Structure 1
């Protein structure tokens, strides 16, 4: 690995406090560019032309525009760091234009769908008890999958009714928990977790007693959603989108939702206000007699 890339990854870890998962993603994207250069130029000898060629190469691979933009943003950050740290004199990515990403509203569950999925776990077995606690935290606290997996036993305070979450950039926040989530967690900690034979300090365990993984969580959610009879793609992040949307629809102010979600920028949270407006428009079109022209 080139020394300049090592220095950048250390910077992300030590100064930016990025998670290992995020750092690995940066390493993968920048290493792909390094391999693309095929030894013809080092990373510090690159100009704007090489970056543009790489952009064309990525687009020809028929990757999504979002994926291409993410890879190019990683390179922008890398070259900004190299310029700031004195590895290079000029930043070749300064005038690089990124592919435009179409704005799409996130998929959300209706309240009825969310409850149907959660209630499908009858808590007859340790696994069902664990799964219900997982679902209650996803929907009742709006956590990211990495945040759920990263929870430790000491992060949950049942007496005070909150969970301490470490989010992006290792920023911590305190999330209040409702009675349903608290009751599900209490049952999991008293009955299910001991039965799984704990071998980890992670809050949520797999069937063998080890810490649950992001892949494991995705498989669990997919299986539960299918069993609940929801015939569309629902991911763990769909519960986070639903949490935010249902909070706003219930009258929560956007600044509070931003804090609960752990968003650094308010603009990231504002997409959920657009989503609520779209849903209101759909209700209006379906219900109001003057919302559309009569067919002649």
Structure 2
């Protein structure tokens, strides 16, 4: 018992984080992302005994992040990750207690990125690398999660070009099924047939691929395309998932049907998060109901 207490007392933040990454996170992409976000914290407190790190140290970290120009959303996310690691340490017996338990963190306002318009998406498509072109087309057409959780896992065996439908993999977010049935747009079907022929010739099973290899990230290629298209404002690959319901609902699509295509059990999520109100929609909204019928007389 005394030896266990000594190990707990001597455990450093860096050792605890490495244990968490090794034993708790099984997906490589999650490990890489988590390690990236915890790196600034390890730079400040990595050598500290974990039992001595509390709310005061986290506040110092948030202040340092602010001075470095890091967005509050990102800095807070990193602090939450550290709190999660410490909670895991207590649950697994590595720590006797966590000074971060119950720590309150600021709630930054979410920054909404206006999704790409069809014109912007087309400009990017014209200058993008082939694999990014496919992401743009399927992102705008079907609204999948852009990344290894969904779109990058889509294989040709999941696609039925005769029935014009695909079984899009579902992200691990409480979905009951491994995939969902998504119809392929009529104007996208010829493109997908061409892609299927190209990939069959090299024996590639992945719909999104780079020279036959499965794609894990498109960040660099995406931003190259955005700059080459002359788009200065911030647009991320995930913005395509926002664009699809915005465009679909604007043109009268059924909310429930759009939610099913996107893999949402709750259709109200679309209205809360994904449907971005553009100016022409706002103008249409204020003119939708009959007015008061007030007529201005010439003498007034």
Provide TM-score, normalisation by structure 1.
0.72
Q: Tell me the SS of whatever aligns to 2:19.
A: helix
Higher percent of residues as helix: 1
Given the alignment, which residue of 72, 80, 85 partners 1:73?
Answer: 80
The 5 A counterparts of 1:132-281 are: 133-146=134-147, 147-160=150-163, 161-167=165-171, 172-174=178-180, 175-190=182-197, 192-193=198-199, 198=202, 200-206=204-210, 208-212=211-215, 213-215=217-219, 217-219=221-223, 221-222=225-226, 225-226=229-230, 232-249=233-250, 250-253=252-255, 256-262=257-263, 269-272=270-273, 275-276=276-277, 280-281=281-282
RMSD of the TM alignment (CA)? Answer: 4.0
Identify if the C-alpha distance between structure 1 residues 244 and 92 changes in structure 2 by more than 3 Å, giving closer, same or farther: farther
Cα shift at 1:137 = 0.6
Identify if the C-alpha distance between structure 1 residues 54 and 235 changes in structure 2 by more than 3 Å, giving closer, same or farther: closer
Cα shift at 1:225 = 4.0
Give distance in 2, aligned partners of 1:104 and 1:282. 23
Q: Which residue does 1:22 correspond to in 2?
A: 30
Query: 1:80-113: per-residue Cα shift (whole Å, max 9, x none)?
Result: 2222222223332233332332244331244x52
Query: Which structure's CA Rg is the greater one?
Result: 2
Contact 1:129 1:188 in 2 (8 A): no
Query: 1:30-69: per-residue Cα shift (whole Å, max 9, x none)?
Result: 3432221252x22344222222222222222221111112
Give distance in 2, aligned partners of 1:201 and 1:247. 30
Contact 1:129 1:187 in 2 (8 A): no
Give distance in 2, aligned partners of 1:130 and 1:4. 38
Provide TM-score, normalisation by structure 2.
0.71
Higher mean C-alpha displacement, 62-71 vs 210-219: 210-219
1:57 and 2:71 equivalent? no
Structure 2: which 5+ residue stretches go unaligned? 1-12
Give distance in 1, aligned partners of 2:121 and 2:39. 43
Q: Which residue does 2:16 correspond to in 1?
A: 4
Identify if the C-alpha distance between structure 1 residues 163 and 280 changes in structure 2 by more than 3 Å, giving closer, same or farther: same
